[in-house]
Amino acid sequence: MTRLSAGTETIEVGFWPHRNEGGTIALTGDLVLGTDTLALSRVESYVDAGSTHLIVDLSGVQVFDSTGIGLLLRIHHLTEERGGWTHFVAPGKNLRRVLEVLNLDRFLSLYDSSAEASAGPDPAEPPEISRP
């Protein structure tokens, strides 16, 4: 895991490659203003190296703000633009609730575990979004 700091906030980013164009990223710490750009830079380097199918483990996220939510959206768009996908795993209760209130759970693929994400629906098929 790589430890990145912005002021007093810290985020750790770990990466474990998978066999085929993918990998698991673990985010641990604070997804807040400052750490978001540091984490995004690290994720971009993995995607640039060919890892376009990502499982992002959020179980270690302790604190988040709107820039942290924005980071999740940017990661999703980054892999999607390259023909890949992102599955977000184990968001804490508060993070999941915020994503639900913002209706982002209809847009982002959220799973309770890595096993569930790996066996989830065909990642080539984006989730349907119902519009009012």
For residue 49, give the CATH number of its domain.
3.30.750.24
pLDDT tens, residue by residue, 52-87: 999 999 999 999 999 999 999 999 999 999 999 999
pLDDT of 39: 95
Rounded mean pLDDT, 123-130: 43
Classify residue 129: in a domain, yes or no: no
Question: In which domain, by residue range, is 89 found?
Answer: 2-116
Please name the residues in contact with 119: beta carbons below 8 A apart, sequence gap of 6 or more.
Answer: none
pLDDT of 120: 59
Classify residue 125: in a domain, yes or no: no
Count structural domains, the chain: 1
- Helix H or strand E segment including 23: strand 22-31
Classify residue 64: in a domain, yes or no: yes
**φ and ψ of 116, to 5 deg:** -65, -40
The pTM of the full predicted model, rounded to 2 decimals, is 0.86
Check pLDDT > 60 for residue 132: no
Please report, rounded to a whole number, the percentage of residues in the chain having pLDDT higher than 70.
Answer: 90
Check pLDDT > 90 for residue 21: no
